Structure 1
Amino acid sequence: MRDQSIIIKQVIGKTIKAIRIKKSLSQEDLAHECNVDRSYISMIEVGRNEPSVTKIFELCKGLKIKPSDFFKLVESEYEKIQEKSGEI
């Protein structure tokens, strides 16, 4: 079993990337919207960085999505992973 915090970081990154791509934004575009470096966005998307709650709210603003909707997507994806691993 993978460490729960690693899975959550990966799910957050995967969700941010999916929304960004769906909205036709580059990492550079999102980084500019959030006043961070492009490499920071990349590190989040690959699961190497875990954004703070404050930064998640800024990312959601840049992605033009409500934080509550973002967390619902993260929760849904996390539950799918748990079901596949037989933990739920």
Structure 2
Amino acid sequence: LVITHDHDLDYQLVRTILRREHVPYCGMIGSKTKKVRFLKRLQHEGLTGKQLSRLTCPIGISGIKGKEPEIIAASVAAQLLQIIGETDEH
């Protein structure tokens, strides 16, 4: 999970994570707009569609309302449990 207050640091971390093929998931806190901007930059730097598809942003289960830290944390934890379950099935 990438959760910082610095967009440049977020970008550097996401780029590094996505380049590591053995990492099946990269979640980043942020908006859909932020994701689109990052994907364009990452694609320009040569990352593949397969690499880019591992980026999840915004993070958390869709449909859960609320921006309070505890709600976001519970939503992200639930999403991670889903991903772990899917990975274990394969």
Q: TM-score, normalised to structure 2's length?
A: 0.34
Q: Determine which structure has the larger strand proportion and give its number.
A: 2
Name the structure, 1 or 2, with higher relative contact order (CA <8 Å, separation 6+).
1
Q: TM-score, normalised to structure 1's length?
A: 0.34
Q: Determine which structure has the larger helix proportion and give its number.
A: 1
